[in-house]
């Protein structure tokens, strides 16, 4: 079968500069893995990298015209829009090129399948959850979806007109062929690589585990975290290094370590295999997993970057978020990393729907005490980031059941909720406007900063101090004079004007 996998063009939304969690990073390998398993089964597969190659819709149309697929499958990443442009495009090319089947896959389609099938008649199937087994079954028997596990499709006899089942999980990830990558998917020689799937945690804001469904081929519980073997990972790294010369790898696993003693032993084995290969790499981890022995081993093997999901500086908030970690875990993780010469990036949720001003104060003190406001790249994220509520997460379901969801005007997938307290709402709006303004400046300068440009670094440092001071002054104002004092003042405009003067933009 001739199959085209499309990564469609998408644009950043100007007012969403700080909303970075519209899909998990591991999704970037979805098309590569799908292409690999389909090619191994004998199908003709092409990936169109519309996003990474900066293509417009005309470019994509010409590429589809050349490939003439029987099945066009689009990886839908939610990008804060209503997808009307994508739907119109799919309808056009399906008719124009006689494409027999159009499918969608990814996190967004998994949780918004009914909505998407209602909105776009040209989409025949949606792959629900893990995609590899479902793609193989669909390519072999596209005319009879009733026998394919992991599809959503229209059926007038089904509940709400759509029949749906979760995809079959791959029991042993070592059985998967290595994902197919194009040069454009490895910008600057940086390679995303997947070492495991799922997470042993159960954070309320996360939809990673619901995406997988947690059930295997025979209905058995497979577990929330599935690893590749260290040897299988190293074999892929060796192949990529040999073919491309790449020497930086970023593990997209939401949980690099895995649980307990077994997870630590696997990490130590992987570090031992990586040592001597002269690569650098980055990972993402939970704070409670970070401890001296494994970090020392990973650092020796080439660990350079790490993202740690701290989320809060208050134990009560961590409990609400279902983190099953503590502030002590967070501070211990930071100390271990810094002792080994690693300055982490951090995930942090400053504004929860029920955050109090006291929560904000405690969070701010935690960030300041732990030197997480010194670099603008970190401060601009942690001093605003609100809890994103997307369909599939436990938070979405809890707030829906409580009648507190405010749905987007074009999708049930994205939701917001009012802040419980007016003071928190005022702080969140002020910091959103300030950080968006700073992000706008950083868009054209962050690479210079990363490269160590002295002038830009000095500017970033000044803006970071301004941002931290502004958060504290705004919080003082709301605490002592109420939210109206912040809303009616020109506080935000004055801060943004100062940012422009520091940056030389005024």
CATH code assigned at 342: 3.20.20.70
Domain boundary among 396, 417, 438: 417
Q: Report residue 15's pLDDT band, with 50, 70 and 90 as the boundaries.
A: low
More confident residue, 448 or 21: 448
- Does the pLDDT of residue 483 top 80, yes or no? yes
Q: Report residue 364's pLDDT band, with 50, 70 and 90 as the boundaries.
A: very high
Identify the pLDDT of residue 221.
39
Tell me the mean pLDDT in the region 409-435. 92
Identify the pLDDT of residue 50.
92
State whether 144 and 11 are in the same domain: yes
Most trustworthy range by pLDDT among 15-29, 218-232, 277-291, 481-495:
277-291
Tell me the mean pLDDT in the region 256-266. 95
Residues 324-363: pLDDT tens digits?
999 999 999 999 999 999 999 999 999 999 999 999 999 9
Q: Is residue 273 part of a domain?
A: yes
Give CA–CA dist 137/145, Å, rounded.
9
Range of the domain at 84: 2-164
The fraction of the chain above a pLDDT of 90, given in percent, is 78
Q: What is the chain's alpha carbon radius of gyration, rounded to the nearest angstrom?
A: 23
- SS3 of residue 94 by DSSP: helix
Q: Is residue 445 part of a domain?
A: no
State whether 247 and 308 are in the same domain: yes
Domain count, the chain: 3
State whether 25 and 65 are in the same domain: yes
State whether 343 and 244 are in the same domain: yes
State whether 46 and 160 are in the same domain: yes
Identify the pLDDT of residue 219.
43
State whether 159 and 46 are in the same domain: yes
Q: Is residue 72 part of a domain?
A: yes
Identify the pLDDT of residue 360.
98
State whether 12 and 138 are in the same domain: yes
Q: Is residue 458 part of a domain?
A: no
Residues 298-334: pLDDT tens digits?
999 999 999 999 999 999 999 999 999 999 999 999 9
More confident residue, 373 or 386: 373
Most trustworthy range by pLDDT among 245-249, 446-450, 486-490:
245-249
Q: Report residue 500's pLDDT band, with 50, 70 and 90 as the boundaries.
A: very high
Give CA–CA dist 239/254, Å, rounded.
24
State whether 102 and 208 are in the same domain: no
Identify the pLDDT of residue 256.
96
Give CA–CA dist 140/144, Å, rounded.
10
Q: Is residue 477 part of a domain?
A: no
State whether 393 and 312 are in the same domain: no
State whether 89 and 190 are in the same domain: no
Q: Is residue 74 part of a domain?
A: yes
Across-strand partners of 198? 225
Domain boundary among 106, 133, 164: 164
Tell me the mean pLDDT in the region 433-439. 94
Tell me the mean pLDDT in the region 145-154. 95
Identify the pLDDT of residue 216.
44
State whether 194 and 280 are in the same domain: yes
State whether 255 and 329 are in the same domain: yes
Q: Is residue 311 part of a domain?
A: yes
Q: Report the run of H or E that residue 308 belongs to, with start and end.
A: strand 303-311
Q: Are 259 and 201 in contact (CB under 8 A)?
A: no
Q: Is residue 503 part of a domain?
A: no
Q: Is 489 exposed, middle or buried (0-12, 13-18, 19+ CB in 10 A)?
A: middle
| CATH classification of the domain holding 146 | 3.40.50.280
Identify the pLDDT of residue 220.
39
């Amino acid at each position: 079968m001739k199959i085209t996998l499309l990564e469609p063009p998408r644009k950043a939304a100007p007012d969403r500069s700080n909303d970075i969690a519209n899909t998990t990073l591991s999704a970037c390998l979805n098309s590569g893995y799908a292409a690999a398993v389909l090619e191994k089964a004998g199908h003709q597969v092409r990936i169109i990298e519309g996003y990474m190659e900066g293509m417009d819709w005309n470019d994509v149309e010409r590429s589809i015209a050349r490939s003439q697929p029987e099945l066009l499958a689009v990886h839908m990443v939610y990008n804060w829009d209503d997808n009307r442009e994508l739907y119109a495009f799919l309808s056009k090319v399906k008719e124009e090129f006689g494409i027999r089947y159009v499918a969608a896959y990814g996190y967004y389609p998994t949780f918004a399948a009914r909505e998407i099938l209602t909105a776009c008649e040209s989409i025949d199937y949606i792959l629900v959850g893990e995609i590899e087994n479902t793609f193989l079954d669909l390519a072999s028997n596209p005319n009879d979806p009733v026998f394919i596990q992991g599809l959503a499709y229209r059926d007038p006899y089904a509940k709400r007109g759509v029949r749906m089942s979760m995809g079959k999980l791959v029991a042993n990830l070592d059985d998967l062929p290595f994902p197919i990558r194009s040069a454009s998917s490895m910008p600057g020689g940086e390679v995303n690589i997947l070492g495991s799937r799922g997470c042993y945690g159960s954070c309320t804001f996360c939809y990673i585990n619901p995406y997988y469904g947690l059930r295997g081929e025979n209905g058995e519980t497979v577990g929330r975290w599935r690893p590749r073997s260290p040897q299988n990972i190293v074999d892929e790294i060796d192949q990529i290094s040999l073919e491309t010369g790449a020497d930086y790898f970023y593990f997209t696993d939401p949980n690099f370590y895995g649980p307990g003693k077994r997870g630590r032993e696997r990490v130590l084995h992987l570090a031992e295999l990586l040592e001597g290969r002269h690569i650098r790499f980055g990972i993402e981890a939970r704070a409670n997993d970070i401890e001296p022995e494994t970090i020392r081993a990973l650092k020796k093997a080439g660990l350079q970057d790490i993202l740690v999901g701290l989320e809060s500086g208050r134990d009560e908030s961590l409990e609400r978020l279902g983190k099953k970690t503590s502030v002590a875990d967070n501070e211990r993780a930071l100390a271990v990393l810094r002792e080994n010469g690693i300055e982490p990036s951090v995930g942090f949720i400053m504004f929860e729907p029920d955050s109090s001003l006291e929560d904000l104060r405690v969070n701010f003190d935690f960030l300041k005490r732990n030197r997480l406001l010194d670099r603008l790249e970190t401060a601009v994220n942690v001093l605003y980031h609100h809890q994103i509520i997307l369909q599939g997460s436990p938070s979405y379901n809890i707030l829906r059941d409580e009648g507190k969801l405010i749905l987007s005007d074009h999708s049930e997938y994205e939701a917001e909720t009012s802040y419980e307290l007016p003071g928190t709402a005022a702080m969140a709006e002020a910091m959103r406007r300030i950080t968006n303004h700073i992000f706008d400046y950083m868009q054209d300068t962050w690479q210079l900063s990363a490269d160590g440009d002295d002038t830009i670094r000095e500017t970033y440092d000044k803006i970071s101090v301004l941002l931290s001071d502004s958060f504290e002054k705004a919080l003082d104002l709301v605490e002592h004079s109420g939210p109206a004092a912040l809303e009616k003042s020109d506080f935000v405009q004055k801060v943004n004007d100062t940012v422009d003067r520091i940056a030389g933009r005024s």
